[in-house]
Amino acid sequence: AMCTDIYNSLMKALSMEDAEDVTCYPVRASASGAIAELIENGYAPPDWVALLQVVVKRISAEDENESALLFQLLGTIVDAGQEKVAAHIPGTVSNIANTITNLLPSVPDPWPQVVEQGFAALVAMVQAWDSPAPDENKEHEKSAWQLGQTAIAQTFSTVLQKAWLLPVEQMEPTLDSALPPPSCVNDASVLLEFILRSITSMEEITHMKVFELVVIWADIIAYWDSWEEEEDQGVFNAIKEAVSFHQRFDSSGFFLKMLPSQSANGSQSSVISRVSSFVTRAIAAYPSATWRACSCIHTLLHAPDFSLGAEDTRMTLAVTFGEATFSYFKGVSDSPAGIWKPLLLAISSCYICYPDAIQQVLCKDDGNGYTAWASALAQVSSSSFTPGLSSESEIKLAILTLATVIERLLALSMGGTKVLQDCYISLMESCIHLKDVQEDGDDDDGDGAEDLDDDDDEEDTDDDDEVMYHRTVFSIFSLSTLLEDREHAIRIRRMMMCEKRQKRNSLQDMLLLLASQSRLLRKET
């Protein structure tokens, strides 16, 4: 009861109008902060919508200081209210977006604090809107939700056009750089990601100027370097959504075309190359960014349609990623660490695309670089490493890479080396691990930032599995022969001669051999 009385008094203070020459701003500012603190401490207002309406009504472009405080309160309300206010989010987004666009500076200066708070409030509304998405079976609710989704996306497009496109159009041609200021890059990326996943037709793409926004965004993040000052999760999410958008709607390969940059050097580059520049620099930024960047590497190498005359671009990206990840790995390679996993798997993604080119990268400064990476990959792929391979996509990538490495080491006459035996043991353990994961149906990706995305190359799963199968069987057969394990070699040779329809059963039988072979090798080594 006491909290309710206090809340009602604060609501009156928040709604208080100025009296002639007397401003009530200090009263409203205090009330805004107090209400936010009440909500953050678990108090639930009796009428969320009434509070929302009072706050939105008071937000205006006339008083930036007060609006900045109200944007903060609005974010708190939406975060806590969630489904209580979800139905009102499209209208609320429209109202405050008008204020934000009026507050955006017309010159390419850093945005004022009130605009930054406004973007943060929009991000809070994105999260609240996504939370209670209706079930696919509830057609009426789904239809209403989709209308709201489209309306929000259109509003976000209007805001980003004013923030990014208009300044570029109005920029003086004498200026060195025509890029808009790198303000609120993470929050703006969240809005762009929302637009990209809301698109359902080419008409919407044209109407919302999606391609134009993506080009400017890619240009901005290519030169962004505020890892310590600003969050970046929204940027990484937008990158993955941009690749998904490219797969769904970019039939002309626009993302891979060379386009003029608005940066100071004015060079030409593709959207994919600009995004990859951000990812490359993120690798060595800080640990969480390393995990996210390495996850994006697999997406950028394997999801885009590089068949559209851009295979050279893919190879350039693979080499660049390989150099950056291996350079960072060498700095942390003294003792095993959790950060090894994303780095080594990222190199693996590059390696399976272009084995020869990446081997040259690994050996460029150190002739033992290739074997050092292979040995570390074997260590990460073993059952004793923590954090171990957790998702099906990670395990498959490790299996395919280890099998390829074993073939390469055998070709280099390194059959008796410890690194080959380690790779062989880890290959077998990974095969067994994959079988267990598939049987359990447990393919969760942890916190979402670390593991590879299983959906990135979903259409190629069967082909990838077949390649993985044949390379794995070949590697095991070669090693069994080398180790003079005649019984296993004969049985595996028979498996290799089976028809494709028998592949699954053969693989299951082979896995039984792997367990005993693994134990045998562990005793020998």
3-state secondary structure (DSSP) of residue 19 = strand
Handedness of CA 352, 355, 360, 365 (dihedral sign): positive
Task: Identify residue 23 by its one-letter amino acid code.
Answer: T
Output the pLDDT for position 345: 97
Q: How many residues does the chain have?
A: 525
Higher pLDDT residue, 411 or 133?
A: 411
Task: For residue 278, give the nearest of 319, 322, 224, 240 by alpha carbon.
Answer: 224
Distance, CA of 237 to CA of 393 (rounded, Å): 19
Would you state the structure tokens that stand for residue 414, as one six-digit string? Answer: 């390194």
**Is residue 201 a part of any domain in this protein?**
no
**Is residue 29 a part of any domain in this protein?**
yes
pLDDT digits (tens, 9 = 90+) for 488-502: 444 444 444 443 444
Phi, psi for 262 (deg, rounded to 5): -90, 5
**Is residue 211 a part of any domain in this protein?**
no
- Per-residue pLDDT, averaged over 143-147, amounts to 88
**pLDDT over 90, % of the chain:** 55
**Is residue 73 a part of any domain in this protein?**
yes
Question: Is the pLDDT at 87 greater than 60, yes or no?
Answer: yes
* Residue 16 DSSP symbol: P
Distance, CA of 84 to CA of 98 (rounded, Å): 23
H/E stretch holding 394 reads: helix 392-411
Higher pLDDT residue, 507 or 256?
A: 256
User: Looking only at Cα atoms, what is the longest distance across the chain?
Assistant: 99
Distance, CA of 349 to CA of 343 (rounded, Å): 10
Q: What are the Cα distances from residue 121, in Å, to 39, 97, 322, 327, 386?
A: 16, 10, 38, 39, 39
pLDDT digits (tens, 9 = 90+) for 50-82: 999 999 999 987 889 999 999 999 999 999 998
Question: Is the pLDDT at 189 greater than 90, yes or no?
Answer: yes
The DSSP line for 338-380 is TTHHHHHHHHHHHHHH-HHHHHHHHHSS-TTHHHHHHHHHHHH
Task: Identify residue 229 by its one-letter amino acid code.
Answer: E
Cis-peptide, bond into residue 387, ω within 30° of zero: yes
Question: Is the pLDDT at 97 greater than 80, yes or no?
Answer: yes
pLDDT digits (tens, 9 = 90+) for 253-302: 899 888 988 776 667 899 999 999 999 999 999 999 999 999 999 999 98
24: pLDDT confidence band, cut at 50, 70 and 90? very high
Instruction: Show the domain range for 71.
Output: 1-132
**Is residue 19 a part of any domain in this protein?**
yes
Would you state the structure tokens that stand for residue 520, as one six-digit string? Answer: 């045998």
3-state secondary structure (DSSP) of residue 334 = coil
Output the pLDDT for position 431: 83
Distance, CA of 192 to CA of 184 (rounded, Å): 12
Contacts of 396 (CB under 8 A, 6+ apart): 434, 464, 465, 468
pLDDT digits (tens, 9 = 90+) for 162-180: 999 988 887 665 555 678 8
Distance, CA of 77 to CA of 84 (rounded, Å): 10
Output the pLDDT for position 452: 60
Output the pLDDT for position 114: 96
Distance, CA of 227 to CA of 516 (rounded, Å): 48
3-state secondary structure (DSSP) of residue 484 = coil
Output the pLDDT for position 458: 46
Q: Using alpha carbons only, what angle is made at residue 147 by residues 145 and 150, rounded to the nearest 5 degrees?
A: 110
**Is residue 115 a part of any domain in this protein?**
yes
**Is residue 190 a part of any domain in this protein?**
no
**Is residue 43 a part of any domain in this protein?**
yes
Q: How many domains does the chain divide into?
A: 1
pLDDT digits (tens, 9 = 90+) for 409-460: 888 887 678 999 899 889 888 888 888 888 887 545 444 444 565 544 444 5
3-state secondary structure (DSSP) of residue 260 = strand
Question: Is the pLDDT at 469 greater than 60, yes or no?
Answer: no
Contacts of 238 (CB under 8 A, 6+ apart): 189, 190, 192, 193, 196, 217
Question: Is the pLDDT at 135 greater than 80, yes or no?
Answer: no
Q: Is 129:197 a contact under the CB 8 Å cutoff?
A: no
